[in-house]
Amino acid sequence: MAPAFLGENGPASTNCGGLDVLTETQRQVFERLAELAVPADDSPSAAEAGAVEFIERVLTVDRPDWQPRMDRALAVAGEALRAPAAEALEAVLADVDGAWLVRLIAQGYYAGESAWGAVGWR
């Protein structure tokens, strides 16, 4: 099932030819980082809310020029995620590209309808 902000058919507003800008390994790293950056509580985590798909769509449609920076950030995250969760997130945030990616994850999270209640918007 697609995240609510993508609609039931996925990114229907634009024919972007699929969200295939990340390798499977990068996607796994991205999902894990999204779980750490915005963990689930009473609301879904960033990964559960579709933040990764949202950012992939941005990379595919709007900002393909971000791909080299995304690759660097995911490489940093991949190395950092070998450590325990708190240390991993700290290491990612200490890197300029890693911190950029964590900010994108937060933006992707709050772009999704499932997070709107957390900020008092319905």
CA–CA distance, 103 with 45 (Å, rounded to integer): 14
Give the number of domains in the chain: 1
CB of 2 within 8 A of CB of 10?
A: yes
Kindly list the distances between the CA atom of residue 1 and the CA atoms of 5, 7, 33, 89, in Å, as whole numbers in the listed order. 11, 9, 21, 28
Supply 68's token pair.
Answer: 């080299």
Is the pTM for the entire model greater than 0.85? no
The answer to the question of residue 50 being in a domain is yes
The answer to the question of residue 2 being in a domain is no
CA–CA distance, 119 with 42 (Å, rounded to integer): 13
pLDDT of residue 19: 65
The answer to the question of residue 36 being in a domain is yes
Containing domain of residue 82, as a range?
22-119
The answer to the question of residue 26 being in a domain is yes
pLDDT of residue 18: 53
Listed as ranges, residues in the chain with pLDDT below 50 are 1-17
The answer to the question of residue 72 being in a domain is yes
